[in-house]
Amino acid sequence: MSDLMKKIRNLKRSKLLCDAAKAGAPMYRRDRILRRLVVLEGGEDTAEILELLLNLEQDLNAQRKTGAAHYRAARHVECLIAIRAEAATLCRPALVENSLQNQVNASGIEAFFSATYARSASAMAGSMAGC
Cα 77 from Cα 103, distance rounded (Å): 37
State the pLDDT at residue 53: 93
Query: With b meaning 16 or more CB within 10 Å and e meaning fewer, what string describes 67-99?
Result: eeeebeeebbbbbbbbbbbbbeebeeeeeeeee
State the pLDDT at residue 70: 94
What confidence tier does 9 reach under pLDDT thresholds 50, 70, 90? confident
- Containing 78, the helix (H) or strand (E) segment is helix 73-107
Name the residue ranges covered by the structural domains of the chain. Answer: 2-123
* Mean pLDDT of the residues in the chain: 78
More confident residue, 15 or 10: 15
State the pLDDT at residue 67: 94
Query: With b meaning 16 or more CB within 10 Å and e meaning fewer, what string describes 42-58?
Result: eeeebeebbbbbbebbe
State the pLDDT at residue 129: 52
pLDDT beyond 70 at 99: no
